[in-house]
Amino acid sequence: MLANLIMEAKHTVIFSGAGMSTESGIPDFRSATQGMWRHKDPAKLASTYALEHNRDEFVAFYRARIEGLQTCAPHDGHRILAEWEQRGLVHSIITQNVDGFHALAGSRYVAELHGTISRVHCQHCARVYSAVHYLEEEGTVCECGGFLRPSVVLFGESLPDDAVDMAERETYAADLFIVLGSSLQVSPANLFPQVAKRNGAKFVIVNMEPTELDYLADLVVHERKIGEVLAEANKIICTNE
């Protein structure tokens, strides 16, 4: 059914969450078993409060995530989405992920709603450095002397205007809106699927566990790995082309 929806649609938008990258070896946040927020408090680590009042733990947390990224890579699911974009089957990706893997796998039209940890920037002069710089001894100090922090949206910060503008345009243009690997618990990101549905798009959720918006979806796929679901849909699409 997913393959048919993709082949019939005129403007398909993918909305991805941390579940898109667990098969690349990156833990998600709220999975019952491995979710990162099961053992850590996001408010104490991934927030403006942490940036100001908990700086050592903040830096250690993001250094560990940047370090982890160095040994991970996009998986076949990311590559299938990039191929579908090239073949006109997917128009864009709205992602909550900060690993940069959609672009690394070749997707060109990606809105990074929550920024990225592939770059860090200076709180004072906004100069940008690549994330690996953060792993060096003096990696948190800018040439201007300012404090360097990952270019990720922290809890308490607003989403980047350009990503939100693109996500809004794509959400309104979508006639098929597919969620891949998100618990859909975090706003305002979780408003986009609701707007797409209200705007008449077919709404699909592919997620291991139930989500907050399952009741709204035209198709829900639980307890299946995203990589496998995309590979199976791709096989059907390729035999129908």
Residue 59 tokens, joined: 């830096």
Q: Which of 74, 100, 150, 181 binds ligand APR (CB under 6 A)?
A: 181
- Rounded to whole angstroms, the Cα distance separating 165 from 176 reads 19
Which strands sit side by side in the sheet containing 12-16, from one edge to the other? Answer: 110-112, 92-95, 12-16, 176-180, 202-206, 219-221
Residue 116 near ligand APR by CB under 6 A: no
Q: Is 102 a catalytic residue?
A: no
Is the separation of the CB atoms in 113 and 95 below 8 Å? Answer: yes
- Rounded to whole angstroms, the Cα distance separating 150 from 38 reads 22
Residue 151 near ligand APR by CB under 6 A: no
* Choice between 78 and 114, CB closer to ligand APR: 114
Q: Among residue numbers 93 through 112, which ones bind ligand APR (CB under 6 A)?
A: 96
Q: Which residues contact 72 (CB under 8 A, 6 or more apart)?
A: 21, 24, 25, 26, 99
Q: Which H or E run contains 148? A: strand 148-152
Report the SS3 class of residue 77: helix
Q: Which of 48, 54, 185, 194 binds ligand APR (CB under 6 A)?
A: 185
Residue 47 near ligand APR by CB under 6 A: no
* Choice between 102 and 142, CB closer to ligand APR: 102
* Choice between 34 and 199, CB closer to ligand APR: 34
**Tokens 């709220």 belong to residue:** 30
Stretch of residues binding ligand APR (CB under 6 A), selected from 5-13, 85-93, 133-141, 183-191? 183-191
Task: Output DSSP code: residue 216.
Answer: G
Q: Which of 105, 208, 217, 230 binds ligand APR (CB under 6 A)?
A: 208
Residue 202's beta-bridge partner residues? 176
Stretch of residues binding ligand APR (CB under 6 A), selected from 3-11, 57-65, 161-169, 204-212? 204-212
**Residues labelled as active-site residues:** 114
Which residues are at the interface with ligand APR (CB under 6 A)?
17-19, 22-23, 28-31, 35, 42, 96, 114, 181-183, 185-186, 207-209, 225-226
